[in-house]
Amino acid sequence: DQQVKQNSPSLSVQEGRISILNCDYTNSMFDYFLWYKKYPAEGPTFLISISSIKDKNEDGRFTVFLNKSAKHLSLHIVPSQPGDSAVYFCAAAIYNQGGKLIFGQGTELSVKP
Amino acid sequence: DSGVTQTPKHLITATGQRVTLRCSPRSGDLSVYWYQQSLDQGLQFLIQYYNGEERAKGNILERFSAQQFPDLHSELNLSSLELGDSALYFCASSVSALAKNIQYFGAGTRLSVL
């Protein structure tokens, strides 16, 4: 039972344009969401998070949007840079049930110069 | 460098064998997590320890066990290994046991069961 889904295994974007990565979840108990970025041969690195009491959180070029009614979140990267090329994982948690994260399968982003 | 150290980086073994994966968390972090990433899959949560005590458990097989020692390092023991256990095993650490605390990941141990 895949509670967090990233339906696009890959995404290719031109440098300078917007990258939009999508994530859907099924468990309505999830109330905290995160995005991690992973380069080859490295562990995932935290990127940005959002609590369910918000619908948007911004950090520099990265913005996460949360649509609770649709059980959908997205990560926007503007402008995209070649160094953003990596695998992006979304993850969800139940805030008061410890740090257990449920990850999606990942989306591989390729930003072309 | 996340500050989380995992050893070994690679492990090749045979079916039926037992292996131990080791994780040293970031200095000051009390919580350790173990995740498994199989081919083309996301990271699957296995188990969490906080200050030596088991805090949360995922779909961890009975053949797998873990512990966190007084110096806060953690070990994941995998026994009676099967081909399907081949995967990347990640350890992460955070300052406390709450989801809001960033989890810092090690580079992983790649296990190949032949």
Q: How many contiguous H segments (helices) and E segments (strands) does chain A have?
A: 0, 11
Q: What is the pLDDT of residues A54-92, one digit of tens each?
A: 999 999 999 999 999 999 999 999 999 999 999 999 999
pLDDT digits (tens, 9 = 90+) for B14-49: 999 999 999 999 999 999 999 999 987 789 999 999
pLDDT reading at A1 higher than 70: no
Please give the Cα distance from A80 to A96 (Å, whole number): 34
List A96's β-bridge partners, or say none. none
Could you tell me which of B11, B99, B19 has the C-alpha nearest to residue A31? B99
| CB A65, CB A55: distance < 8 Å | yes
In this prediction, residue B97 has a pLDDT band, given cuts at 50, 70 and 90, of confident
State the Cα–Cα distance between residues B16 and B114, nearest whole angstrom. Answer: 10
Residue B85: helix, strand or coil by DSSP? helix
- The answer to whether the CB atoms of B105 and A89 lie below 8 A apart is no
Q: Between B41, B42, B99, which is nearest A93 by CB? A: B99
Residue pointed to by tokens 């999508």: A22
* Cis geometry, peptide bond prior to residue A79 (ω within 30 degrees of 0): yes
Mean pLDDT of all residues belonging to chain B: 95
Q: What mean pLDDT value characterizes chain A?
A: 95
Q: Which of B42, B90, B97 sits opposite A105 (nearest CB)?
A: B42
A71 with A28: CB under 8 angstroms?
A: yes
Q: Could you tell me if B1 and B107 are in contact, meaning their C-beta atoms sit under 8 angstroms apart?
A: no
Q: Closest approach of chain B CAs to the CA of A21, in angstroms?
A: 15
**A98/B56 CB distance under 8 A:** yes
The four Cα atoms B96, B25, A44, A98 give a dihedral, to 10 degrees, of -20
Instruction: Check residue B10 and give its pLDDT.
Output: 97
Cβ-based neighbour number of residue B10 at 10 Å: 9
Name the more confident of B101 and B43: B43
* A45–B105 CB contact, under 8 Å: yes
The answer to whether A87 touches B41, Cβ cutoff 8 Å, is no
% of residues, chain A, pLDDT over 70: 99
Q: What pLDDT sits at residue B36?
A: 97
